[in-house]
Structure 1
Amino acid sequence: MSIEFIKSKMREAGNANAVALGKTIITYQELTERLVYWQAYLANSPIPAGAVVSIKDDYSSDAIALFLALADHNAIVIPLSNDSATQFDEFSEIGQVEYEFFVENAEYQLKTTGLSAAHPIYDQIRERGAPGLVLFSSGSTGKSKAIVHDLSALLTKFTVSRNTMRTVLFLQFDHIGGINTLLYTLANSGMAIIPESRRPIMVCKAIELHQAEVLPTSPTFLNLLLLSGAADECDLSSLKLITYGTEPMPESTLNTMAQRFPDIKMLQTYGLSEVGILRSKSRDSNSLWVKVGGEDYQTKIVDGKLCIKSKSAMLGYLNAPSPFDAEGYMNTGDQVEQDGEWIRILGRESEIINVGGEKVYPAEVESVVLQLDGVEDVAVYGMKHPITGMTVAADIKITSDETLSQFKVRLRKHCAALIPGFKIPTKITLIEQYTHNARFKRMRRRSA
């Protein structure tokens, strides 16, 4: 499908608020006018249908309108947020970008790269006469993979009308969760609220100013929110729902959130750039058990790992083999526990630490460490050990003035009361920086 449904919803919404950036608000009528402008621009530009076009920008009314206009033009769109600036050249090369839009002196500029985008997956999209979308994996386990979607297949799921909500656009423009949030908001005449930055205080100020109802974010950000005290400086009473995903949620963080914000529903979400965002239902606000699926998805558990089949799955990678089996299922690599229809996500198979035959999931240990007073951030990973094969290591950011030796004593006493001895970190490094990346996702060292 094209973006006709969303364009129609935007016209119907008229003078309703569409996008807020800082104190500036634009209506759906104004957003529609920007869309019409960009449609006319593209019609008179050298960009043909099927061309690969990047947008180097963060959320703005023009970025949103240009994204929609490129989709309507049946271009293959590569959104690149400024968080990825150090990888722009890499992503442009992998994606074979032919045209790029970038901001200079507060105005969009168009550049022709001279590249020619030739790939069998791109050919599929062009033959369908459909728009495309390219996203990149985080690259935390190697080179980033270029994930190619038929954008019309992703758009189809938004034709079912759902709740109109005022939603914070926290997950970025080049993230499957960010695209999902944006399209859901526009398709349901909601208000997209863009914080001036993603520092906890600025997010809280945006929630207060625009009476946001939904905050989609990551567990790492929620931990920073709790530590920052920003929620005490702002009125967050408008918030009805916080959704969290992108990484396992530490149980201690979830429990603290539920206690601190008892009137806000906490909902765990699940999705991958390769298959999209599944509909989900948490057992309750302080439970890590969740149901995932929906009319467009099928799931199964194989050897303790979650596998997903999606109607809106990617067409493939530009630079890697297909991960789908003969039945169309993708092994996500996420280890899960199962209780009937409910699952609990334990962590990525690649991050499991095998200590003398015993499995240790980093998120479980991180949850325990985060309960200790004075701990601001932690990332747990495995290190080689001559006897047990592996041992548990942790990079920890603390707020106290303790020496490493003093902190180790306190940490081990704390952990010994809550987890078995083989899960207690034996190698501890005190760090100054946070362990998360620009997407507010915890980045652990590779097992060494």
Structure 2
Amino acid sequence: MSALDWLFERMAEHREREALIWEGQTRTYGDLLAGVAQQRSRLADIGIGPGEVVWLEGDFTFETCGMLLALIANRSIVVPVSGSSSPSRRSELIELTQARWLLREDGGQLRAERTSREIRSELLIALREAGHPGLVLFSSGSTGTPKAIVHDMSRLLKKYAHRRAAFRTLSFLLIDHIGGMNTLFHTLANGGTLIFPHNRHPLHICACIERYRAELLPTTPSFLNLLIMSEAYKRCDLSSLRIATYGTEAMNASTLAALAGLFPGLEFRQTYGLSELGILRAKSRSSGSLWMKIGGEGVQTRIVDGLLHIRSDSAMLGYLNAPDPFDDEGWFNTQDQALVDGDYVRIIGRASDIVNVGGRKVFPLEVEEVLLQMPEIQDAVVTGRPHALVGSVLEAAVNVRAPFAGLGAGQLKALIRSFCRDRLESYQIPVYVTLQEEPLHSERFKKIRNRRR
């Protein structure tokens, strides 16, 4: 029995409804089911059987979406990789995943190539012997070799069997992101419509929302901040949009307050998830609140020394290239620093982001929230810089708003010190300020905190 039989039955209930929209074209659920059947037949013709590791390279399109579902139904172990990912480590990562087959998008078609690799990992062998489909994702770390995260898709997919509300959803997150997978399966499981954009430029995203009457936008705080600064929302009709969800990084209170002011009829919901755990159920205290409850079916949480720990039924099996991170009772230390208020938590950053200034902890997010209140600053990233006397001091990399483009680093530093004097402790005020013309976020719209100087 396929791990997706229940999903295919659900999709058949909505056979005439729009399922996917891409390049102005639409595919119904009936079309998608037929496409999956064709792809499964193609897999059989090629010789890709259950338990094979398949590298699937491309973006969300009709072709790759159908192939992804076909591979899972085929009980293969799929490694989805965005076509926009950097090719510099491609060979290294293919070798790491032990992929026997490479499927790459080329001119709208998926080209197949067989390699001579054999599965060596005990995790992958166990998946194959159990007859379960697998998923391999890479951690988002930008230094060193990313961790290869192995999921049993039979476990990961179970939560989508619970019926939820259906929306016309703009698929912002990529195919190799756990959030992108969550968007796909949540939408298809509930008879919604997925809208695939060409790129993630604010104006294009706004145009897609207007043209296709999108109701739900799952995105990141960095993109929402860029949306504010670009003012692209002023050039399009976004009245169809009902909900914007944000995750992957901590949100600044000042950004959320600005969003609430600009879009008073739009509900903002915080999401929470990790590639290792899947996307978990989260409920914001209110649309303008950074406090949320994390839980849902098969999920437990606790706070240990200020860090959020989670035990989840949808957790990964383990890493291909790193030690098992779970304790003896199955708890996973997320390394997310969290504040607690009753049943609610607020994520204030990664433990690795904390800067120790003379023995006092500084959370970069707290400083960034103040900097973003300045009229001169469009975006800011605060990090630590080694210092001989106090261990570390703060450094702020900033994007300046266009009307203040003539400011020098020295002038801006003086303005920052004056503005922060009554809002932050002296040790929280950045000692170094660098002006950046390039964005302070990655191509995946997540802040870059380890930028090379």
Taking structure 2 as the reference length, the TM-score comes to: 0.96
The alpha carbon displacement at 1:285 in A equals 1.3
- Residue identity in the other structure for 1:57: G
Aligned residues: 448
Give the match for residue 280 of structure 1. 282
Matching residue of 2:448: 443
> Separation in 1 of the partners of 2:235 and 2:195?
19
Instruction: Please report how far the alpha carbon of residue 446 of structure 1 lies from its aligned counterpart in structure 2 after TM superposition.
Output: 6.8
Match of 2:427 in 1: 422
Match of 1:246 in 2: 248
* Matched residue, 2:337: 335
Map 1:115-126; keep pairs closer than 5 Å.
115-126=117-128
- Of residues 262-271 and 85-94 in structure 1, the stretch that sits farther from structure 2 once superposed is 85-94
1:404 pairs, out of 383, 405, 409, with 409
Distance in structure 1 (CA, Å) of the matches to 2:224 and 2:350: 21
Inter-partner Cα distance in structure 1 for 2:324 and 2:76: 23
Contact 1:382 1:447 in 2 (8 A): no
How many angstroms does 1:204 deviate by? 0.6
> Does residue 11 in structure 1 map to residue 30 in structure 2?
no
Structure 1: how far apart are the matches of 2:121 and 2:183?
A: 29
CA distance in 1, matches of 2:148, 2:176: 12
Q: Kindly indicate whether the alpha-carbon contact (under 8 Å) linking 1:382 and 1:446 is maintained by their aligned counterparts in 2.
A: no
**Post-superposition shift, 1:141?**
5.0
1:234-273 aligned at under 5 Å gives the runs 234-273=236-275
Deviations for 1:332-366, whole angstroms, at most 9, x for unmatched residues? 11111111101111111111001112111111211
- Share of identical aligned residues, percent? 44
The one-letter amino acid of 1:248's match is: A
SS of corresponding position for 1:42: helix
After superposition, the C-alpha distances for 1:22-52 in whole angstroms (9 at most, x for unaligned) are 3221111111111111011112222121000
Residue pair 2:51, 2:133 contacting (<8 A) in 1 also: yes
- Give the partner amino acid of 2:436: I
Q: Given that residues 381 and 440 in structure 2 are in contact (C-alpha distance below 8 angstroms), is that contact kept between their aligned partners in structure 1?
A: yes
Structure 1 contact 22–206 (Cα < 8 Å) conserved = no
Q: Is the 8 A contact 1:207 1:239 kept in 2?
A: yes
Q: Following TM superposition, by how much is the alpha carbon of 1:236 offset from its aligned partner in structure 2, in angstroms?
A: 0.8
Equivalent residue letter for 1:284: S
Partner of 1:67: 68
SS in 2 for 1:429: strand
Q: What residue number does 1:133 align with?
A: 135
Q: Which runs of 4+ in 1 moved over 3 A?
A: none
Distance 1:417 1:90 in 2: 50
Question: Could you report, residue by residue, the CA deviation over 1:290-330 in whole angstroms, capped at 9, with x for unpaired residues?
Answer: 11011121111101100000101100000000110000000
**Offset at 1:377?**
2.3
The answer as to 2:36 corresponding to 1:35 is: yes
Greater Cα shift, 32-41 or 102-111: 102-111
Q: Please give the root-mean-square deviation of Cα atoms over the aligned residues, in Å.
A: 1.4
Once residues 332 and 316 of structure 1 are traced to their aligned partners in structure 2, the CA distance between those partners, rounded to angstroms, is 14
Distance 2:56 2:410 in 1: 49
State whether residues 381 and 447 of structure 1, in contact with CA within 8 Å, keep that contact through their aligned partners in structure 2. Answer: no
- Structure 1's unaligned 5+ residue stretches are none
For 1:83 and 1:91, the matched residues in 2 are separated by 15
Alignment of 1:223-372 (within 5 A): 223-372=225-374
Q: CA separation in 1, counterparts of 2:279 and 2:109?
A: 33
Alpha-carbon offset, residue 198 of structure 1: 0.5
Cα distance in structure 1, aligned partners of 2:364 and 2:83: 29
Please report the TM-score for the alignment, with normalisation by the length of structure 1.
0.97
Q: In 2, are the aligned partners of 1:121 and 1:316 still within 8 Å (CA)? A: yes
1:203-231 per-residue CA deviation (whole Å, 9 max, x = no partner) reads 11111111111111000000000001111
Contact 2:63 2:108 in 1 (8 A): no
Task: Say whether the 8 Å CA contact 2:63–2:109 is kept in structure 1.
Answer: no
The CA deviation at 1:447 is 10
1:154 is aligned to 156
**Offset, 1:140:** 3.2
Conservation of the 8 A alpha-carbon contact between 2:127 and 2:134: yes
Q: Could you tell me which runs of 5 or more consecutive residues in structure 2 were left unpaired when the two chains were aligned.
A: none
Equivalences for 1:71-86 in 2 at 5 Å? 71-86=72-87
Q: Distance in 2 between matches of 1:208 and 1:220?
A: 21
* Greater CA drift, 111-120 or 366-375: 366-375
How many angstroms apart in 2 are the aligned matches of 1:184 and 1:129?
24
Match of 2:383 among 365, 378, 381: 381
Q: CA deviation at 1:104?
A: 2.1
Alpha-carbon separation, structure 1, partners of 2:369 and 2:143: 23
Amino acid at match of 2:107: N
Q: Which amino acid aligns with 2:202?
A: P
- Contact kept, 8 Å, 1:384 with 1:447, in 2: the verdict is no
- Give SS of 2:366's match: helix
Task: Name the aligned partner's letter for residue 426 of structure 1.
Answer: V
Distance 2:195 2:287 in 1: 24
Q: CA deviation at 1:386?
A: 1.8
Tell me what 1:413 maps to: 418
Return the alpha-carbon distance in structure 2 between the equivalents of residues 208 and 418 of structure 1: 40
Query: What amino acid is the match of 2:205?
Result: V
Separation in structure 2 between the aligned mates of residue 434 and residue 395 of structure 1, nearest angstrom: 10
* Residues 216-227 of structure 1 mapped to structure 2, 5 A cutoff: 216-227=218-229
- Report the 3-state secondary structure (helix = DSSP H, G, I; strand = E; otherwise coil) of the residue aligned with 1:322: coil
C-alpha contact 2:413 2:432 (8 A) present in aligned 1 = no
| Structure 1 CA distance for aligned equivalents of residues 384 and 396 of structure 2 | 8
Inter-partner Cα distance in structure 1 for 2:113 and 2:143: 32
Distance (Å, rounded) in 2 between the aligned partners of 1:56 and 1:198: 18
In 2, Cα distance between the equivalents of 1:278 and 1:130?
22
